[in-house]
Amino acid sequence: MTKYIFVTGGVLSSLGKGLAAASIGALLESRGYNITIQKLDPYINVDPGTMSPFQHGEVFVTDDGAETDLDLGHYERFTNMSATQQHNWTTGRIYQKVINKERRGDYLGNTVQVIPHITDEIKNSITKLASPETDIVLVEIGGTVGDIESLPFLEAIRQLRLEVGPSDAINLHLTYVPYMRAAGELKSKPTQHSVKELRSIGIQPDIILCRSEYDLPDDLRRKVALFCNVPTDAVKVAIDVDNIYKVPLKLADQNLDSLVCQLLNLDAGKIDLRKWRDLSALIDSDRAEVNLAIIGKYVDYPDSYKSISEAFTHAGFHHRVRVKVEWLESARFEKGQHLEELARFDGIMIPGGFGSRGVEGMIRAIQYAREAHIPFFGICLGMQLASVEFARNVAGLESANSSEFEDDPRYKIIYKLRELVDIDEMGGTMRLGAYHCELEPGSLARKAYGAEAVSERHRHRYEFNIEFKKSLEAKGLTFSGISPDGMFMEIIELRNHPWFLGCQFHPEFKSKPFEPHPLFRDFVGAALKRHKSQADTQKADSPKEEAVS
């Protein structure tokens, strides 16, 4: 029978519920259990697809085309699970489903209410993930206890635990223990109030996970246990770490996973944490540094590119280097100024984005990377702008542009998706989810993947206009990845360049710490090669000290 772990949070947001759930999932997998993790978000948006990256961070895309919360990226990176539409539900999506049922008459004329209709739909979304193959479902409730919008979700998990029984479902509450520097001590009162709020709606936590800058002394653990009605051994600490991939070990050192197994009447068995311990040792080791520039639109809020940041970290693990990323606002380069600053970087990336702001700066940066032979990697918008830059500055199509930025450019290198295909076949106006791509023999992409074809996740409205394929190929642009039907250009490359590649899809979504994405891996490898070459040149050019006789 499938077991459930409900993860809630209190006091304030951004405590790390997603990382806690992902880390617990990783530990349970290390004990041999099959797990999956779900995120329930209390906002009324149907999904985060239309939300500003400045407010919500990146939109994580699944194979089946769901636009989901960025926490699902943590779930996939830390565990073996593959997320789907069923792994992220919002208030908007729950209410939409209930209202659709009401309009069809499914409720037989009954008055539709939050309880039981909304809460039943929430419970259904959770229990759908239970199966004979799934031992444990972890469910993260977004938001903070005390928020009015979270109440239906909390009521649903209260009911569900009552229905399945305490040995098949437990509540883990993540809260905050601040350090008051003026007083020189940790304070447990916020945690006490958070648990009091949770208990007032009928939920008693089984485990309290205290987020803190410092470890909790024994007397404070006992105090939290006493006032929050849990055993002292059930008070754990989620201490700040310098790298998120250390979190599973920090929790394992406190036997959190053993306690979970005990509470759920599961055989703890043996745990194999060798790969996590090896990774932690690598993180702490002395490593060379590779410097990369990411030139984008949302650089003031790094969570907008969360999966990209993590993919670079994974590639750094593979090459045993530290990847230092500097985020640069693309508008800085729009007038051709400051481009010389890019010479100090070992690689340049242009990530995805929407809208016209800053694109001319990106195009100038791409031109600089191409002409200065600096390794370049473009993702989605980055690939499209690399195509436009090549068309303008190499193929002689000076007014080339995308219809996203100009209504009717003379050379429409990039088309809006609905201009190319019947949008009903693609699900709205975006190409979302996993699509296949065939790779050209001898290409950078084929070498990276080591395969003839791959499946990658997409999220975009615009495509390369195949009418210009032959003319750009004649000038040296290689289309090394193409959809099986030949309709969509998925990857472009330059052969006479150290490493220059753009892809229409989002490879960052499939990168993991123990399995870095091949394109990120090889891009960082090319950057490392440039770094070593420049270091050797500087060493050779430096004046040698004369021997003292």
Q: What is the pLDDT of residues 460-511, one digit of tens each?
A: 999 999 999 999 999 999 999 999 999 999 999 999 999 999 999 999 999 9
Catalytic residue among 380, 456, 463, 497: 380
At residue 103, the pLDDT reads: 95
The CATH homologous superfamily of the domain defined by 287-535: Class I glutamine amidotransferase (GATase) domain (3.40.50.880)
Our answer to whether residue 210 is catalytic in this structure is no
Q: Residue ranges per domain, the chain?
A: 3-279, 287-535
Summarize pLDDT for 272-323 with one digit per residue, the tens. 999 999 999 999 999 999 999 999 877 777 788 999 999 999 999 999 999 9
Catalytic residue among 29, 508, 517, 531: 508
Residue 176 pLDDT > 70: yes
Spatial separation of the C-alpha atoms in residues 319 and 521, rounded to whole Å: 8
Residue 424 pLDDT > 70: no
At residue 254, the pLDDT reads: 97
pLDDT > 70 in the chain, percent: 96
Tell me which CATH code domain 3-279 carries.
3.40.50.300
Residue 426 pLDDT > 50: no
What does pLDDT average to over the chain?
Answer: 93
Is 3-279's fold the same as 287-535's?
A: yes
Catalytic residue among 117, 506, 517, 531: 506
At residue 4, the pLDDT reads: 98
Residue 104 pLDDT > 60: yes
Residue 35 pLDDT > 60: yes
What value does the mean pLDDT take over residues 394-410? 92
What value does the mean pLDDT take over residues 516-522? 98
Look up the pTM and report it: 0.93
Give 417's pLDDT tier (boundaries 50, 70, 90).
low
214-217-222-224 Cα dihedral, nearest 10 degrees? -20
Our answer to whether residue 380 is catalytic in this structure is yes
Helix, strand, coil distribution of the chain in percent, nearest 5: 45, 25, 35
Give 529's pLDDT tier (boundaries 50, 70, 90).
very high
What value does the mean pLDDT take over residues 445-471? 96
Q: Tell me which of 142-146, 368-372, 440-444, 525-529 is least confident.
A: 142-146
Our answer to whether residue 341 is catalytic in this structure is no
At residue 203, the pLDDT reads: 97
At residue 428, the pLDDT reads: 52
What value does the mean pLDDT take over residues 376-396? 97
**Peptide bond before residue 178 is cis, with ω within 30 degrees of 0:** no
Whether 279 and 514 have beta carbons less than 8 Å apart is answered as yes
Spatial separation of the C-alpha atoms in residues 172 and 17, rounded to whole Å: 10
Strand order in the sheet with 489-494: 321-329, 288-296, 347-350, 376-379, 500-503, 489-494, 477-482, 431-439, 453-460
Q: At how many degrees (to 10) do helices 218-228 and 189-200 cross? A: 20
Give 418's pLDDT tier (boundaries 50, 70, 90).
low
Q: Return the structure tokens found at 519.
A: 């394109």
CA distances from 506 to 66, 78, 126, 348, 368 (A): 14, 19, 28, 16, 23
At residue 50, the pLDDT reads: 84
At residue 421, the pLDDT reads: 45
Summarize pLDDT for 530-545 with one digit per residue, the tens. 999 888 877 777 666 5
Longest dimension (CA), the chain: 103
